Amino acid sequence: MIGKLQDYRSLLLAACLIALLLAALPAVSVLVTFPKASERFSELWLLGPGHMAEDYAFNVAVGESEAVYLGIGSHMGSSTYYAIYIKFRNQTQPLPNATISAPSSLPSLYEIRAFVQDGQTWEMLITFSILEASQSETTSFVNRLVINDRAVWANSSTFWDSERDGFYYQLFFELWIYDTATKNLGFHNRFVTMWLNMT
């Protein structure tokens, strides 16, 4: 009888200790900090001339100056070195391929470099205009552009788009990042675009 009483007492004591530990678990978890797994990523954006996500240039003409704000946000865990390549394309030329993380094969017209601290943003005003262009009834040709007061060769042509009634091009911005392991810049699988109508 005494042996059974001892067994019940031991069982009751064990049950009380378990209940006490379960009750204290929420309070202990507040005091103990676990390292948070964080995803490393970068942001890339374009804002219109009013510094808002609106009023982007669309209908453009030779000699008219346009402006956008280009921005980067870094969440890479350390200071990061970026390059942005500005490219120009017609409707049939390749954009970057996000599925396979490949940049566009088109040449860069203009390059920007920036260091951005982790958790910080960087922004720059980009001005551009069409410097030389010509048109026929069926074809548009853009010879040169000016980006931030520097003339660059575009040498791009496009055909009349009968569905959208116009000659369309895209100015786009590819984000590249310096890889400390390979000691090279690599495409960071981020890009932003803006359509331009040269009609």
| Same-domain check for residues 70 and 129 | yes
pLDDT tens digit at each of 199 positions of the chain: 555 656 666 666 666 556 555 565 555 444 444 445 578 899 999 999 999 999 999 999 999 999 999 999 999 999 999 999 999 999 999 999 989 999 999 999 999 999 999 999 999 999 999 999 999 999 999 999 999 999 999 999 999 999 999 999 999 999 999 998 899 999 999 999 999 999 8
What pLDDT is recorded for position 30? 44
Rounded to 10 degrees, what is the CA torsion of 146, 54, 135, 168?
Answer: 110
C-alpha closest to that of 72 among 179, 164, 190, 170:
190
| Same-domain check for residues 57 and 3 | no
What pLDDT is recorded for position 13? 61
| Same-domain check for residues 19 and 75 | no
| Same-domain check for residues 187 and 97 | yes
CATH number at residue 131: 2.60.40.10
The CA distances from residue 17 to 24, 49, 169, 199, in Å, are 11, 66, 72, 80
Residue 17 belongs to what domain range?
1-34
Number of helices (H), then strands (E), belonging to the chain: the values are: 1, 9
- Provide the number of structural domains found in the chain: 2
| Same-domain check for residues 9 and 45 | no
What pLDDT is recorded for position 71? 98
| Same-domain check for residues 111 and 73 | yes
- What's the CA gap between 163 and 176, in Å, rounded? 34
The letter for the amino acid at 11 is L
* Cβ pair 78, 96 in contact under 8 A: no
| Same-domain check for residues 55 and 3 | no
Task: Give the largest CA-CA distance in the chain.
Answer: 109
What pLDDT is recorded for position 38? 72
The CA distances from residue 141 to 3, 110, 153, 199, in Å, are 100, 19, 12, 11
| Same-domain check for residues 14 and 111 | no
| Same-domain check for residues 67 and 100 | yes
- What's the CA gap between 173 and 192, in Å, rounded? 5
Q: Model-level pTM?
A: 0.79
| Same-domain check for residues 108 and 163 | yes
* Cβ pair 66, 127 in contact under 8 A: yes
| Same-domain check for residues 30 and 56 | no
| Same-domain check for residues 25 and 54 | no
What pLDDT is recorded for position 35? 45
What pLDDT is recorded for position 98? 87
Return phi, psi of residue 27, to 5°: -70, -40
